[in-house]
Amino acid sequence: MKTIFLAIIVLISYWGFSENIPPSILLSLYGVLVIVPVALIMVRKNMLYALMAWFFFLFFKNGLWNYQSGKLILPFLPDLQAERAIWILLFSVLFFGITTRKMKLDIGITKLEVAMLCFCFYIFISMLVSGSYYQAGHGLTMSFLLFGYFIPYSSFFLAKYIVNDEQKIKKIFIFFAIIGFYLGIIGIFEYFRLESLVIPPYIMNSKLGIHWGRARGPFLEAVGNGWTLGMCLFITLHLLLHSNKKWIKFFYCISIVSMLIAILFTFTRNVWLGFAVSSLVIPIFLRQARKTFLVSGLAMLIIVSSLFSLGQFKQHDINDSNFGDSSKDLPLTEKIATRGMKSETVEGRFELYKIGWKKFTERPVFGFGFNTFVTARMHDALVGIVVELGLLGLSFYFFIIINILIISIKLYHLLPSNAFIGKGIVVIFLGIFILYSIVIEFSPFSSLIFPLSYFYLIAGIIAGLYQRVSKQQVSEKLNWGLQGSEVSMQVEKYG
């Protein structure tokens, strides 16, 4: 390997001097030869931190990397955004590790991953047949497939095989708890227009993104922000219930309260509804969390009541066609009432259902082709699947989702009650699952890459746990059976 590496350097040097290549480009090429192997070694050494880094850069994808410098530009290579480069490194390490047998997967690939891969392949074929893979003036449209399905499903695969023990699960949960705390605090700062405290500053730029006037975070839109906040809150609650240090518990409590307030400030009805319904699993199935649930609810009630009683906190410069009249000052009470009672968007959605049903009846089996009914998909993911991919696409989607739910229920019955890797972690996931099911019904897939990847990451952890716990219990039963056979043989031998 060292000989090959040295030979490549010599060849590049010879080519560079013979063709009079500028020294800056030669130095860049040498840098690539050093950076890529070092990056591969670092990822191979600790893939969990590489996975966290991927989510960190994915977190700012919609904002920082799109509106500021966020690309790795190297000579003779395509310009890559940071999260794409890390994703490629992660899968390269996994692929070469498995093929060279330097890495061993402790659990096998199941029908769930196969179904995800087949679904992505079906979408790709649908795009080829319908010709929607290319649009004049826009070029290739593969990003809808990548961001809505392939990359989120890949996070399921990565989590299942990388986050494979309790310590790693704790680390990834703490990572998302910190993200939730950040989003909660930033959401509050956004609402009260504390611009100097909002980081990154582009969040307060009304000309960027959508949903200006609502807590939208670094995503620059309120739906993904609220959805992520809800999932982070469930994760933080699980950490709180299994923490012993008082100052850590205090941090988690502050985080939960800030996230609750920020969810309110998203002024997004599907997030409100999804979080309200999904939260019910906590007091019903998780006894040890009932006190925390009650205290959090009371704290939230007191804070909201205080804001209502003051009634003077205005929301200015609303610029959202889904919200109401532009440039209108509203007190918080009226803001919530306006969002809760607004009927135009509900009527528009029923109209969308009518159009979707009509198109579905025309081509019920295979649909019109992926990316041919963007209007539906940008407002309702399931309507988009039905119209664009037909019953076959819908069958793939529900097969994946229902299997994830079944696996989580089976895991619940295998785990102990009070441990960190216990029934509570499944209850938390069921809350996240219900939140996903409600929010995605009124949202597009392709524009929500971070929360989608986040959801499938947690689903991958749950699926990996189920396989490992099942395997361990089968192994223990076999060992017990062998020991029992040896005892019976000794009894027969010695009478």
- Residue 85 resides in a domain: no
Which of 187, 165, 220 minimizes the C-alpha distance to 450?
A: 220
Query: What is the distance between the alpha carbons of residues 230 and 183, in angstroms, rounded to a whole number?
Result: 11
pLDDT value, residue 465:
94
pTM listed for this prediction: 0.81
- Residue 414 resides in a domain: yes
pLDDT value, residue 379:
62
The owner of tokens 């009541």 is 305
Which residue range(s) make up the domain with 276? 112-484
Q: Going by DSSP bridges, is the β-strand pair 330-331/134-135 parallel, antiparallel, or unpaired? A: unpaired
- Residue 399 resides in a domain: yes
Tally of domains within the chain: 1
pLDDT value, residue 200:
84
Residue 39 and residue 49 in contact, taking contact as beta carbons nearer than 8 Å: no
Residue 440 and residue 469 in contact, taking contact as beta carbons nearer than 8 Å: no
Residue 180 and residue 197 in contact, taking contact as beta carbons nearer than 8 Å: no
Burial of residue 184 (CB within 10 Å: 0-12, 13-18, 19+) is buried
- Residue 154 resides in a domain: yes
- Residue 160 resides in a domain: yes
Query: What is the distance between the alpha carbons of residues 61 and 218, in angstroms, rounded to a whole number?
Result: 8
- Number of Cα atoms under 13 Å in the Cβ half of residue 55: 27
- Number of Cα atoms under 13 Å in the Cβ half of residue 344: 7
CA angle 329, 334, 337 (to 5 degrees): 140
The residue type at 376:
A
- Residue 106 resides in a domain: no
pLDDT value, residue 387:
87
- Residue 477 resides in a domain: yes
pLDDT value, residue 76:
47
- Residue 38 resides in a domain: no
Residue pLDDT tens, the chain, 495 long: 456 656 666 666 666 666 666 665 666 666 556 555 655 666 666 788 888 988 988 888 765 555 444 454 444 445 567 778 788 888 888 877 777 777 777 788 899 999 999 999 999 999 888 887 776 665 667 778 888 899 999 999 999 988 988 999 999 999 999 999 999 999 999 988 888 888 888 888 888 888 888 888 888 888 889 999 999 999 999 999 898 888 999 999 899 989 998 998 888 888 888 998 998 888 888 777 777 777 766 766 676 666 555 544 444 444 444 443 333 455 555 555 555 555 556 566 677 777 778 888 888 898 888 878 766 555 667 788 888 889 999 999 999 999 999 999 999 999 988 889 999 999 999 999 999 999 887 776 666 889 999 999 999 999 999 999 988 877 666 665 555 555 444 434 444
Sequence-ordered list of residues with C-beta below 8 angstroms from that of 247, at least 6 positions apart, any chain = none
